[in-house]
Amino acid sequence: MLPFAPTVVTVCYGMNDGGYGGMNDGIGKTYRDAQSTIVDKFKAAGVHLIVLGAGAVDSDTFHKSPEQAVVYNKTLGALSDIDKEIADKQGATFTDLHGIMVDVMTKAKAAIGPTYDVCGGDGVHPGWNGHLIMAYAYLKGLGCDGNIGTITYDATAGTATATDGHKVISADKTGIKLESTRYPFCFFAGDAKASGNTTSILPYLPFNQDLNRLMLVVKNPVGKKVKITWGNTSKVFDADVAAKGINLAAEFIDNPFVVPFKKIHDAVGHQQNGETAFYRQYFFATDAMRTMMPEEKETLDRLNGKLVVAIKANRDATAALVTPVAHSITVEAAE
């Protein structure tokens, strides 16, 4: 990591470190020493925010044995406690990834059933649902406030204002036209009981409430109910609810941002696949080659420098895909 000069780092270890069995002093010492060293090295390199956490295993699919899952989740919980100790002692930040995953998993399985896996079919590697839980925990640890923006519309006057990242192009008594550079997180609709999509976990995880708020406030609505149309979807809300604010990102899963968001989402995946190859194949290889051929250190350092530049270029190309989105919101009386 250090060749990339990071300023913020998230650390998620523990799954293999626990040995897939019960906790003991040796496991705890090895984990504590390693995590402490990671924090020390990053702090020495100038990283100003380091977030530590440890995950969980699925309570039903792990080794196809709920009994073994109970044992190993206790171990992972103990490793999570060590993360908190290290964060408190060494000035890092702790996120309770383990606790959040177990809590959300318990709620989801109680509603959907034990066959709904949160940590993958093998009990260890999550699908999109489990990854959203992990993202939630780390974004909270990073201090993200979830305020994507607020659009305030006066239905009687036909005027509107918007916070940073959203520009009102025009407004009248039928609605608003906007241009936005701050995207809400978007979800791709699928089976509400399938672990392979993010929407299935939303009823049990406060992702939208805490981290994904694009609010529409309708002042002075006409009538007791208002019909709001955003993109291809229309919904009716009580006027007093609309006056307090509606979270568009939560209420309109199908919205004008889905297509550009998916384009960026796919580009990030392509970027990360390339980065994985760089890390696993080239950086590790050049480290070994330095030991074998110390006289070539300068050449290998130059090669690593070029790899860093290539990875940054991929990231910049992905970031450039975040372009303004034009969209309209129609507001009308529903009765």
Average pLDDT taken over every residue of the chain:
94
pTM of the model: 0.92
Residue 263 reports pLDDT greater than 90: yes
pLDDT at 192 over 80: no
pLDDT category of residue 193 using cuts at 50, 70 and 90: confident
Q: Is the pLDDT of residue 278 over 90?
A: no
> Which strands form 8-12's sheet, in the order they lie side by side?
8-12, 49-53, 93-94
Query: Closest Cα partner for 119 from 201, 202, 59?
Result: 59
Which long-range CB contacts under 8 A does 17-21 form with residues at least 24 apart? 17/79, 18/72, 18/75, 18/76, 18/79, 19/75, 20/63, 20/72, 21/71, 21/72, 21/75
Max CA distance (Å), the chain: 81
Q: Is the pLDDT of residue 190 over 90?
A: no
The predicted pLDDT at position 54 comes to 98
Q: Does domain 2-141 have CATH number 3.40.50.1110?
A: yes
- Give the domain ranges of the chain: 2-141, 148-189+204-335
Predicted local distance difference test score (pLDDT) of residue 14: 95
Residue 66 predicted with pLDDT over 90? yes
Residue 96 clears pLDDT 80, i.e. is over it? yes
* Confidence label for 152 from pLDDT (cuts 50, 70 and 90): very high
Taking CB atoms within 8 Å and a gap of at least 24, the contacts of 118-123 are 118/58, 118/195, 118/201, 119/55, 119/56, 119/57, 119/58, 119/61, 119/62, 120/58, 120/61, 120/195, 121/61, 122/61, 122/62, 123/57, 123/58, 123/60, 123/61, 123/62, 123/63, 123/64, 123/69
Q: For residue 98, which amino acid is it?
A: H
| 116-130: average pLDDT | 94
Percent of the chain with pLDDT over 70: 100
Asked if residue 258 has pLDDT above 90, the reply is: yes
Q: Please check the confidence at residue 322 and state whether its pLDDT lies above 80.
A: yes
Quick one: average pLDDT of 95-115? Answer: 96
Residue type, 225: K
